Amino acid sequence: MTPRILVTGGAGFIGSAVVRHLIENTASEVANLDKLTYAGNLESLALVAGSSRYHFYQVDICDGAALDTVFARFKPTAIMHLAAESHVDRSIDAPADFVQTNMVGTYTLLEAARRYWSALQEPEKGSFRFHHISTDEVFGDLHGTDELFTEETAYAPSSPYSASKASSDHLVRAWQRTYGLPTLVTNCSNNYGPYHFPEKLVPHMILNALAGKALPVYGDGSQIRDWLYVEDHARALVEVVARGNIGETYNIGGHNEKRNLEVVEIICVLLEELAPEKPAGVLYYRDLITFVEDRPGHDVRYAIDSSKIQRELGWVPEESFDSGIRKTVQWYLDNRDWWERVLTGEYRLARLGSS
């Protein structure tokens, strides 16, 4: 039976990487279900939108009736749930959107999936999977230098964003425990790579530097994150939905801990090499680094122990931070049209793909 994968949030950064991977490297039929908020960009799927195995539905995961229609029409064998509000700063300014999408939306999707799954006959019912993709931010932060987040780490979210994602994780596990819905959960570290929305750290720094603008670093830049190349993450997610054990959680990390300031400095060094023609008035890209007031509740350190997914499913990241960040910087230099359309808002007019 050909897998039929429904990807929610498939026009987002990680979701589009998953869709591209599924179309380019598997035989799966893929449905991209996305509301197309500001972070949803169909132009990120231009390479696969023409495939006969790709389908697009512009649907809000909070709309249960619309979800029922998509389920009945597409008949998925698995759901990969990535639709979420994900920007911490935005969650501090407007938490209601995060509660609505990440909590209410996940609940609504779970109920639609349960209605659909309950009506399936064997063997389809037994092979169905609901894969919920989450973040390491649900664990709070680590203050020691040797501690790692494991699948058993207690939740201690610090921001409205991470609290809303923690809530959605709990809902997914409760639907598995209470109703028997066959779920899987993954928690990942910081992603970076091509097609990343410019508000996030790595693309924000690249594009600001190219424009000769300040590179704002929170506090002293000592916050540590584990960086995961998005295409490595996409491979891991597809392995989990295909071969993971029902009811299990898998942590996915890049094995690349870096201080935020170090990340910005590495980007500056790469730009010196790859984009030596600087904006007027800029002698060195690193001169643009500016320290700004730290944001409220800023976690100190995240670090993932991903030994379980390596041990059980054989996944390991292919990219080191050095190789991945070089690919990322070069991608932004080579794809100016993509990010310029994002910065001007023109991307929101794009409607590639069809339902």
Of 43, 60, 85, 136, the catalytic one is 136
136 is known as an active-site residue: yes
CB-based contacts of 200: which residues, under 8 Å, 6+ apart? 13, 87, 192
Q: With H, G, I as helix, E, B as strand and everything else as coil, classify residue 261.
A: helix
Q: Quick one: how far is CA 126 from the chain centroid?
A: 28
322 is known as an active-site residue: no
Nearest to 313 by CA among 213, 240, 237: 240
Amino acid type, 86? S
Q: 93: buried, middle or exposed (CB in 10 Å: 19+, 13-18, 0-12)?
A: exposed
Strands 190-192 and 215-218: unpaired
Nearest to 58 by CA among 41, 74, 35, 84: 35
Give, in order, the Cα–Cα distances in Å from 1 to each of 49, 114, 127, 241, 246.
23, 21, 10, 15, 20
Amino acid type, 35? K
151 is known as an active-site residue: no
Of 54, 161, 302, 347, the catalytic one is 161
Of 29, 137, 169, 232, the catalytic one is 137
| Type and span of the H or E element at 7 | strand 4-8
Torsion of the alpha carbons at 184, 138, 225 and 8, rounded to the nearest 10: 50
Which residue numbers are catalytic?
136-137, 161
